[in-house]
Amino acid sequence: DAKTTQPPSMDCAEGRAANLPCNHSTISGNEYVYWYRQIHSQGPQYIIHGLKNNETNEMASLIITEDRKSSTLILPHATLRDTAVYYCIVRPNTNAGKSTFGDGTTLTVKP
């Protein structure tokens, strides 16, 4: 599986956009980029995923570079409840594709 690299921590002011980067330089052509977040003591929560086009849902936007070697998760208007550990993962979109988690980015949203 391709590995990902994320900064260990980031801060963001409440109401501002949070931009979380992820490097996945060894990503394969059939691997998707997935983002999850984990709030303390809960199971990870799926946020969004994409292959090569930018994606948006009610939670966030995902921007993938043209060479697919990096991506950015954008939380457009961060709230205190967005404080969590955010994980970026790459995997094929099949039943055989396991998800390997790194240590993620701890995002702290401050008032």
Partner 1 sequence: DAGVTQSPTHLIKTRGQQVTLRCSPKSGHDTVSWYQQALGQGPQFIFQYYEEEERQRGNFPDRFSGHQFPNYSSELNVNALLLGDSALYLCASSTGRGGYTFGSGTRLTVV
The torsion of the CA quartet 103, 9, 59, 64, rounded to 10 degrees, works out to -80
Tell me which stretch binds partner 1 (CB under 8 A): 17-25, 58-66, 67-75, 92-100: 92-100
Which tokens go with 50? 């994409």
Please tell me whether residue 87 binds partner 1 under the rule CB under 8 A: yes
| Residue whose CB is less far from partner 1, 3 or 16 | 3
User: What one-letter code names the amino acid at 45?
Assistant: Q
The verdict on 40 binding partner 1 (CB under 8 A) reads: no
At 80 the three-state DSSP class reads helix
- Interface with partner 1 (CB under 8 A): 34, 36, 41-49, 85, 87, 93-104
